[in-house]
């Protein structure tokens, strides 16, 4: 019995020790598990933080690049503005030192022409067509003389074989003299283009007169070139030629002799804005062949020193000088001379 009790006490003590070990082992495993979970959470938080920082730094890099692009654009715009101001300054200096108004006009025309698009706008082409329309009823007639030019022209046309009916409806509106020489050319305007063209058909038969079409200034060089080329075509190839305006275009065309033959266009031309401006610059002489030169730099400077005063009482130069001296005092000595 005693041995049995003693054994029971030893077994109970052993069981307590085993239970205490299990409890410690269990607590240890729990602690390890918790520490392991906490360590895993820490790693995930670190990774998230790195991702966040990478995103922030990446955004800052893009933002910095955007700022750099804006800064570069602002610098470019500033340079463009500075270049424009420098150009304006240069132009102002030219204006101040320019000898004549004509030089300023030429510079402006060149700059305007440089800004016009090369393909030429529709409005420009319409303006060319309008210039053609203004002269399409006109003829330039040479060698008419100064007396009864209109009657002389009518008699010359009648001599080509025109009937009385045709002559009664010749359709002349005006005959204007161009120039002041002994036998100036005349600008003759007809009622319509049809009447003018009827005259052109017999122009080569008119004795003593030269009859030309009125051509806009900017087309004249091309028209002269086409006339020469048309003569060569007629002479060498035995074809018929025609030079016409079609809209804003000047066209040289030909056709073979024979029935049902159509015209073929050989060449076409219309002036550029620069051509038009150049023709205006070179066409500033009116009614003569040589320009007038009385107004120049020297005469303009001399005119600045002249004072024109009314002299209703027709006073002598000496009396005028006395009055001016009383008015001007010591400044009177600056007057070089007085002319009545």
Residue of 267 and 76 predicted with greater confidence: 267
What are the boundaries of each domain within the chain? 297-334
Cβ-count burial of 141 within 10 angstroms (0-12 exposed, 13-18 middle, 19+ buried)? buried
Cβ count near 250 (within 10 Å) = 24
Q: Phi, psi at residue 307, to the nearest 5°?
A: -115, 125
Token pair in block for residue 185: 């050319």
Statement: residue 261 has pLDDT above 60 = yes
Token pair in block for residue 201: 């058909």
273 within 8 A of 124, measured Cβ to Cβ: yes
Give how far Cα 216 sits from Cα of 177, 245, 322, Å. 18, 11, 59
Statement: residue 26 has pLDDT above 50 = no
Statement: residue 41 has pLDDT above 50 = no
pTM of the full structure? 0.50
Statement: residue 254 has pLDDT above 90 = yes
Confidence at 23, pLDDT banded by 50, 70, 90: very low
173 within 8 A of 189, measured Cβ to Cβ: yes
Confidence at 1, pLDDT banded by 50, 70, 90: very low
pLDDT (tens digit per residue) in 117-136? 554 678 888 899 999 999 99
pLDDT at 106: 73
Statement: residue 222 has pLDDT above 50 = yes
- Round the average pLDDT of the chain to a whole number and report it: 76
pLDDT (tens digit per residue) in 281-317? 655 555 444 556 677 777 777 776 666 777 767 778 7
175 within 8 A of 153, measured Cβ to Cβ: yes
Which string of b and e fits 282-291 if b means at least 16 CB within 10 Å? Answer: eeeeeeeeee
- For residue 331, what are the contacts with CB-CB under 8 A and spacing of at least 6? none
pLDDT at 34: 41
């Amino acid at each position: 019995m005693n041995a049995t009790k003693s054994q029971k006490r030893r077994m109970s003590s052993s069981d307590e020790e085993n239970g205490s070990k299990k409890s410690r082992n269990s607590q240890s495993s729990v602690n390890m598990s918790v520490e392991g979970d906490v360590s895993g959470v820490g790693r995930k938080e670190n990774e998230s933080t790195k991702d966040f920082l990478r995103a922030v730094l990446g955004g800052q890099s893009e933002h910095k690049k955007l700022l750099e692009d804006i800064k570069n654009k602002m610098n470019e715009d500033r340079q463009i503005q500075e270049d424009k101001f420098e150009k304006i300054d240069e132009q102002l200096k030219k204006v101040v030192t320019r000898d004549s108004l004509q030089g300023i006009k030429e510079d402006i025309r060149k700059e305007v022409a440089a800004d016009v698009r090369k393909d030429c706008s529709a409005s420009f082409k319409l303006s060319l067509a309008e210039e053609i329309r203004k002269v399409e009823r006109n003829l330039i007639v040479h060698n008419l003389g100064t007396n009864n030019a209109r009657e002389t022209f009518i008699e010359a046309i009648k001599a080509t074989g025109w009937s009385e009916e045709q002559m009664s409806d010749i359709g002349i509106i005006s005959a204007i003299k161009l120039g002041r020489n002994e036998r100036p050319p005349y600008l003759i305007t007809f009622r319509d283009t049809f009447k003018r063209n009827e005259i052109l058909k017999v122009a080569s038969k008119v004795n003593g007169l030269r009859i030309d079409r009125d051509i806009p200034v900017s087309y004249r060089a091309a028209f002269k070139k086409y006339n020469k080329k048309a003569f060569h075509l007629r002479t060498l190839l035995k074809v018929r030629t025609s030079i016409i305006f079609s809209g804003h275009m000047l066209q040289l065309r030909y056709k073979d002799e024979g029935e049902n033959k159509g015209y073929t266009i050989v060449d076409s031309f219309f002036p550029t804005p620069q051509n038009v401006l150049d023709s205006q610059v070179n066409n500033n002489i009116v009614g003569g062949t040589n320009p007038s030169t009385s107004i120049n730099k020297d005469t303009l400077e001399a005119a600045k020193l002249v004072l024109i005063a009314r002299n209703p009482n027709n006073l002598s130069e000496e009396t005028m000088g006395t009055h001016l001296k009383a008015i001007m005092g010591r400044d009177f000595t600056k007057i070089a001379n007085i002319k009545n």
